[in-house]
Amino acid sequence: MSHTPLGRRAFLAGSTLVLAAAQFDRLLTCPLHADDGKSPLRIGLVTDLHHADKPPAGTRHYRETLRKLAEAAETFQASPPAFVVELGDLIDAADTVETEQRYLATINREFSKLSKDRHYVLGNHCVDTLKKEEFLGGVEQKASYDSFDRGGWHFVILDACFRSDGEPYGRKNFVWTDANIPAAELEWLRADLQGTSLPTIVFAHQRLDVSNNHGVRNAPQVREVLEASGKVRAVFQGHSHQNDYNEIAGIHYTTLVAMIEGAGVEDNGYSLLELGDDGTITLTGFRKQQHRRWHRGS
């Protein structure tokens, strides 16, 4: 898609609409779909930053994510989200634990500026060198999978960084294509969804809508739990680094672009997710991220 300067206009992919600068300002400060004067719940989303202090490799420009994240922070300041979610692979692999912790401290210092209310999804690169408890300790998050309520919605964070035998990823003990939601987490998910009456959004790293190398191996079983609840409206995920979308059994599965891909801020990608009281879900994408909207019942 075309890349347009953020300060001038934003291209909303999947739509023919190009917003001029004044219209773009209104987009950031006004609800996209609230006709009753109520502001929607706004959430900032970023994924696959792969931050590391090392030279580029192919299309991945590790040091560039600091500048790209700073742009996202500036955009979010114009229309502050209630909370932000990082959908995995915040850091890239390192040779030593000490180096990996330095990568994490550097990027998390900048990510922390986006919002006081932050949530982290574990990606396979987050625990390539570190153990889960080390990554979680570094970002001050208690658990790798969890749920919480905000603004009349329920949110679920999943962790698929487990091998088929149930062992958690850590210290280079895994193959990245062997991603699984273990039985204990699946049972927790079923009970968690049974315990809420609210419409639900799920955040994941590895994909739940495909059966290729980027997918969770037991994704069909996970989807059965999501579908049986009758409450899950959408799943937002990363991992495969590209815009993608599938609707399965009435649930919207949206894969977001990776911030790591490409040199320069024009190759950036991040989003503002807005959830309306009327059930409308709007994803406003910036730079390379596509824009999407679903109404209740769609």
115: DSSP letter? -
Q: How far, rounded to the nearest angstrom, does the alpha carbon of residue 18 sit from its chain's CA centroid?
A: 25
Percent of the chain clearing pLDDT 90 (strictly above): 85
Sign of the dihedral through C-alpha 242, 290, 216, 142: positive
Integer Cα distance of 10 and 6 in angstroms: 6
Residue 281 amino acid letter: I
Q: Is the pLDDT of residue 16 over 50?
A: no
Integer Cα distance of 255 and 268 in angstroms: 15
CA distances from 282 to 38, 50, 130, 179, 211 (A): 15, 26, 35, 29, 27
pTM: 0.88
For 22-62, what is each residue's pLDDT tens digit? 333 334 333 343 344 478 999 999 999 999 999 999 999 99
- Residues 6 or more apart whose CB falls under 8 angstroms from that of 139 comprise 90, 104, 108, 118, 120
* Average pLDDT, integer, range 133-161: 98
pLDDT bracket for residue 298 (50, 70, 90)? low
Q: Cβ(281)–Cβ(294) under 8 Å?
A: yes
The matching CATH number, chosen from 3.40.50.620, 3.40.50.20, 2.60.120.10, 3.60.21.10, for 10-294 is 3.60.21.10
Residue 98 amino acid letter: E
